[in-house]
Amino acid sequence: MELPIAESWKIKMVEPIRKSTREEREEWLKEAHYNVFQLKSEQVYIDCITDSGTGSMSDRQWAAMMMGDESYAGARSFFRLKDTITGLTGFEYVIPTHQGRAAENVLFSHLVKAGDIVPGNSHFDTTKGHIESRKATALDCTVDEARDTQLELPFKGNVDLGKLEAALKEHGDRIPFIIVTITNNTAGGQPVSMENLRGVRALADKYGKRVVLDSARFAENAYFIKTREAGYADMTIKQITREIFDLADAMTMSAKKDGIVNMGGFIATRHEDWYEGAKRFCIPFEGYLTYGGMNGRDMEALAVGLDENTEFDNLDTRIRQVQYLAARLDEFGIPYQRPAGGHAIFVDASKVLTHVPKEEFPAQTLTVELYREAGIRGCEIGYILADRDPVTRENRFGGLDLLRLAIPRRVYTNNHMDVIAVALKNVFDRRESITRGVRIFWEAELMRHFTVKLEPAK
C-alpha cells in the first residue's frame, strides 16, 4: 500500500485555544456589531481571518533571531536578507519595509502620479489604495474566467493579455508600469502561469514598460506552476522562482505570507534608477536603508523563512491542507472558487445564501453565521469590502461576494480543517431558513470593512 503524505514538519511549541458557547458568541457578535474584525482573538476558536503574519516560524527561524544585528546602519542582518533575496530573484537592489503596503507606498511614491493608469490582475486593496490615493487608476485586466467560481481552470489568476494590450495601446504614456499579483489573492488565491508571465513580459517590452510583481505569495505560485504547468514538473521551486523573477523588473513583497514572518516586507529591483528613486521615500517613511522598518532579528528570520518556503515539501504540506479542506467541502456540495487556491478557500456566498438579498450582504451574513455556529472566523471578500463607488456613492455589487477562509501556514492540523468543514456544512444545511442578512448603520468612507457597524436586517 502506498504511504500517505504527512506534514513535512513536527510540532515543537503549541498555543492553547478555547471553544466558546453559542450564547457567548451571540453576545460577542452583538458587541462587535456583527463585524468579525471587532472580535477579540480570545473569542475565536479557529482563526481564518488571514494568512498574513499568522504563520508559525520554524526552529531555524527562531534560532536565526538570536543572531539579529540591530545596528542602525549597515547591519549584517540586512546583508544576509539582501543576499537571500538576490539569490532567489536576481534582483540586486533591496529596500526593506515594515510590511507589504509600506513597500507599495515607498515604490509608488516614486512611480505613480495623478492621472496615471496601472494595469494588472485584481490589484489587492492596499495596492489599489496606494494607486487611487495618488489620483491614478488601477485597471483590472484579470481574465474573465476568474469571475465564474465554478469553472475549473489551472491558472485563473492570469492577466487577460488582450485587455492589457488594449490598455497599453490606448493609454501608453500614462502607464508607469504593469503590476501582476502572484498568486492573485482577490480572485481566490488563484495562480498565474509562467506562460502568462511571459506574455506580459512580451507586451511590456513591445510598449517599453516595466513589470512589477506583487509577490506576497510567489512561492505558492511557483508550486502551482510546478504541479500544473507543462514543462515544470522536474524543476525545483527555487529554479521556477528564478524564472518568474527573470520576467520582471521589480517586486513589492509582503513577507508576512510566503516569508513566514509575523511582520515585514521589502522592495527589490534590478534597476538602479528605481532604487535611487524609491530610496528617497524609504528614509522618511520607513527608516534608514538597511532596516526600513524591520528589526535586525526579523530580517534574519525572514532570510531563513524565504529559503525554507521555497522548498517543495514545505509548500506541498501547505497546499495539500487547503486542498484537504476543499475536498471536505466537495463532499457536502458547498460551492467555492474552484479549484482551491493557494492560501484560502473562498466560499461563494451568493450561491449559498440565495434568499439573502445582495443589499443585505450575503457573504458578510455567512461570515457571521459561521462564527455563530462554531467560533470560526473567516472574512468577507465581497460587497462590503468593495466599498462604495467614489462618484455615485452607491454600493458596488458588480463583483463576487465571497467568504474567505484563509489558512495560516503551519498552524492548524487537518482536524481543525474538519471542524471548519462540518461547521460550514451545518450552516449550509440550514441555508434555506436564512432569509435576512445585515444592515449597515455606520461606515467609514474608505476601507469600511474593518470598522463597519452592522445589525441584523429586519
| Footprint on this chain of ligand F0G (rule: CB under 6 A) | 50, 52, 99-101, 124, 126-127, 181, 185, 214, 216, 254, 256, 265
Nearest CA to 295 among 97, 105, 59? 97
Q: How far is the CB of 228 from ligand F0G (least distance, A)?
A: 20
Nearest CA to 94 among 297, 274, 246, 258? 274
CA angle 249, 254, 255 (to 5 degrees): 105
Nearest CA to 126 among 111, 145, 106? 106
Q: Take residue 127 and report the three cell numbers written for it.
A: 495596492
Q: Crossing angle of helices 218-228/237-246, nearest 10°?
A: 110
**Helix, strand or coil, per DSSP, at residue 392:** coil
Between 81 and 216, CB nearer to ligand F0G: 216
Between 136 and 356, CB nearer to ligand F0G: 136
Q: How far is the CB of 344 from ligand F0G (least distance, A)?
A: 8
The 8-class DSSP code of residue 173 comes to G
| Distance separating alpha carbons of residues 300 and 310, to the nearest angstrom | 16
Whether a cis peptide bond, with omega within 30° of 0, leads into 290 is no
Q: Which amino acid, one-letter code, is at 49? A: I
Between 53 and 339, CB nearer to ligand F0G: 53
Q: How far is the CB of 185 from ligand F0G (least distance, A)?
A: 4
Q: How far is the CB of 196 from ligand F0G (least distance, A)?
A: 16
Q: Which residue has the cell 458578510?
A: 364
Between 52 and 350, CB nearer to ligand F0G: 52
Between 124 and 232, CB nearer to ligand F0G: 124
Please list the active-site residues: 72, 124-125, 214, 216, 257, 449
Between 100 and 341, CB nearer to ligand F0G: 100
Q: How far is the CB of 194 from ligand F0G (least distance, A)?
A: 19
Q: How many residues does the chain have?
A: 458
| Distance separating alpha carbons of residues 192 and 180, to the nearest angstrom | 9
Q: Which residue has the cell 434568499?
A: 355
| Distance separating alpha carbons of residues 29 and 36, to the nearest angstrom | 8
Q: How far is the CB of 222 from ligand F0G (least distance, A)?
A: 15
Q: Any residues with CB less than 8 A from the CB of 172 and at least 6 apart, and which?
A: 207
Are the CB atoms for 295 and 263 separated by under 8 Å? no
Between 181 and 321, CB nearer to ligand F0G: 181
Q: How far is the CB of 82 from ligand F0G (least distance, A)?
A: 19
Q: Take residue 307 and report the three cell numbers written for it.
A: 529559503
| Distance separating alpha carbons of residues 302 and 312, to the nearest angstrom | 18
